[in-house]
Chain A
Amino acid sequence: MAADATTPPARPHALRRFLDSDLGWSFRRSPTAVLGALLLAILVISAFAAPLFAPQDPYDLSQLFVDKAELPPVWVQGGEWPFILGTDPQGRDMLSAILYGTRVSLAIGLASVAAAMAIGVSIGLVAGFFGGRTDMLLMRFADTVLSIPTLLVAILVSAIFRGLLPAGIRDNFSAVILIGAIALTGWVQYARTVRASTMVERRREYVLAARIIGVSAARIMRRHILPNTLTPVLVAATLNLGLAILSEATLSFLGVGMPVTRPSLGTLIRIGNQYLFSGSWWVVVFPALQLGLIVLAVNLIGDWLRDALNPKLR
């Protein structure tokens, strides 16, 4: 509504505003956060720009050469340019496979965190706002979900959906199944966080003022309460992104995740694991290293964010 009349005429760029804000100030003062952000930026950009510079398209079988199979990295004797990190037993360039695999892992991680957040935040809002029997029912359900081991649920969900889908199209949906499986086990934490802050916020007087006007419960939850409960959710989401990427890798490693034709980092580690004892260490070490770097970068940012947004630590 008439934004031009109310906002100052020249609003600085979003990045500039972030760096000038309280949060930006704490970001600039935290070397770990800057390191994490830089690392993550490099990983994300290299992964999503991979088609532009990767030596090979690992999804294109015509580019794989069996005679170039199991080449070691270039700095080891027998290594060959341009296969910097060597090749796997199918003749796939490891660097390309890792970059494409990172893309898959990041996308699945982000999507599953977003899905878990959507489920958890909605359930937490409803439970906290209405309280009473609704709250009890939803939170006992959440407790039940939490009492079943995460991996077991994820394997079950993956297995059930893969069983339901015909074999021909199964692989096309494996990413969606993975996202669903991780989200269905990961939402409880968000629900609990949001419920707790909702129960505080709904008693605040600005919510009462809106109720007296006659604003509907759905609008109060969305417009008043949700923005005021989102800070802890964002911290949890950042920290959980690392966990979600690890879950995806675990499921793929166990063989219920991404297929060999569209490998994620977990799939690459599973393939590499079989060659570990034959001396081809590079097939498993580099994907594992990449996975570790991603989780490290995400957790560095998450740790900083948790401290920066905690009013007691300022």
Chain B
Amino acid sequence: MATKEKTLVETQQRHMGMKALNRISNTAVYILLTVISIVWLLPFAFILLQSFRVESTSPVGYVIPQQWGLDNYLQLWNSDFKRWYINTFIIALFAAVFVTIIQLCMSYTLSRFRFKLRGPMMRFMLILGMFPGMLTMIILYRVLADLGLTQANAVPGLILVSVASSGMGYYVSKGFFDTIPKSLDEAARVDGATRLQVLYKIILPLSKPIVIYTILTAFMGPWGDYVFARYVAFGTSAGYNVAVGMYSWLTNDQIAQMYTTFCAGGVIVAIPVTILFLCLQKYYVEGVTGGAVKG
């Protein structure tokens, strides 16, 4: 009898212990998550705060402005920033359209068609992808220069370059297309559809997530593109995109004057992209988790 009671007590304790343990670990997780969130958001909060600072334009040891104002944004308006912003926006827009078309063509074909050169082609592209893309810059710059698409005319050049090779990035969307059962295609073909009709009557309506994902990533890419833009537009402010332009503000000779302007520019660049991203977050997550891993 005594032993039975003892075990009962022990069991109760064990249950209590588990509950308490759970509570403690949950609290720890909450604390950790809060800390992580703060660490992750702080720099962006700093950028936002410093963009409103009026009293000085250089990096300082405090975050909250002593004097608030929109001076930095006015400064942006009066600088080449407008031009850079429009440049980037145009590149992003064209890239979004054409990269999406090209990548979807490529990935759909590789997912659905079995032709003789399919295997060798995919292997070849895998190998091509192992070369550092930067290597091709040297010659592409010379070619673009011959075509007159550098410096002030960098925008069409950058569009061309970012669109042209985008077919190599087919992995994510191919992974998505692979999940659509092939029997749907076959059923439609038996029902009398041509391959083209299969694509736009059956597959595309089912591919909304991946289309949006592709558009989103293609649109966001050019906003962060530094190296190629810098190479193609070298030295001519009119051809800069935001990344190249704003990078020049943080060089040693400009940082003292332009630091807070950089923050304001960062806010202006980040806001539309972030809003767009958050609205389409669902699709992005779907694409990343579905396709990226498989690729």
Q: Do A and B bind each other?
A: no
